[in-house]
Amino acid sequence: SEGVRAQILDGCVELAYPTLDAVRHRLSHPNEILSESAFGWTDNTDHILIHDPWGSKFRLYADSGARDPRGVQPGDASEGLAMTRLTLNVPEGTSLDGIVRFYQHVFCCPGLVADNSAVINMANGQELRFELHCDARPLDEPGFNEDGLALNNGIHLSIYVENLTSAFERAQQLGCIYVNHRFNRRAYTLEEAVEQCMFRVLNVVDPMSPDSGPILKLEHEVRSCTNADGSKYKSCPFDKVPE
């Protein structure tokens, strides 16, 4: 992402590998340049916690069955099999129930509140978790470009939905449609979203009280699995369109 500083994720990315042997071997011989950064790791036998050179945290663990059978992105297969969980820290007092209701209502993703977290099942063993944390950093507030148009250089999630039209209409009813002028593709209307196979959402609101304002602001790039004619969208990672 563009910006004057590196973005440090306030949370954790969990990655599944068939085995951690090769990872441990590489970690035992790190590049010397990393010694001047925030890079570091802790081996906990069943998993490895790694901080990248800027400080973002990754949890690596072994699970040979974690690969998504529905397909992969083009190119050579990576050593890692899947990103199974993304945890984002949120300030204490954040409405976890409201977050769960948002994802259920807009994206039809089941969820629950457990262990001070909103746990969202994104599909096929992949989990999005919002965890209450006393030291959580607020997400970067979106800004504007020199022309006064909305611009967000902060983190964003990219997700695929089975029915783009329905998801757009539900998000629109809550007033959550967002256009980020950092990107050339901009969907203000349903027709533009269908034509471009995507739209964006910024505000996460409680569907039971949308007028209360956003619970948090987190940009979502919502993508369709299909083109307007029903054919598979070019960047859809699945071998075939989900039924």
Cα distance between residue 26 and residue 133, in whole Å: 32
pLDDT digits (tens, 9 = 90+) for 9-64: 999 999 999 999 999 999 999 999 999 999 999 999 899 999 999 999 999 999 99
Q: Helix, strand, coil % (nearest 5) of the chain?
A: 20, 35, 50
pTM over 0.85: yes
Residue 4 has pLDDT above 70, yes or no: no
* Contact criterion met (CB below 8 Å) for 177 and 222: no
Task: Please state the separation of Cα 172 from the chain's center in Å.
Answer: 20
Question: For 145-170, what is the mean pLDDT?
Answer: 89
Strand partners, 222: 159, 199
CA–CA gap between residue 214 and residue 99 (Å, rounded)? 10
Backbone angles phi, psi at 197, to 5 degrees: 65, 30
Are 199 and 164 spatial neighbours (Cβ–Cβ below 8 Å)? yes
DSSP code string of 188-238: -SHHHHHHHTEEEEEEE--TT-GGG--SEEEEEEEEESB-TTSSBPTT--S
- DSSP-derived 3-state class of residue 78: coil
Q: What is the pLDDT of residue 151?
A: 81
Q: DSSP H helical segments within the chain, as ranges?
A: 21-27, 96-107, 164-173, 190-196
- In this predicted model, what pLDDT tens digit does every residue of 57-90 receive, in sequence order? 999 999 999 988 887 777 788 899 999 999 999 9
Q: Check: CB of residue 14 under 8 Å from CB of residue 59.
A: yes
d(CA 169, CA 161): 13
How far apart CA 66 and CA 15 sit, in angstroms, is 9
Residue entry with tokens 């690596």? 60
The predicted-structure confidence for 195-229, as pLDDT tens digits, reads as follows 999 999 999 999 999 999 999 999 999 999 999 89
C-beta separation of 221 from 200 below 8 A: yes
| Residue 2, pLDDT above cutoff 60 | no
Distance, CA of 216 to CA of 203 (rounded, Å): 6
Question: Between residues 149 and 18, which one has the greater pLDDT?
Answer: 18
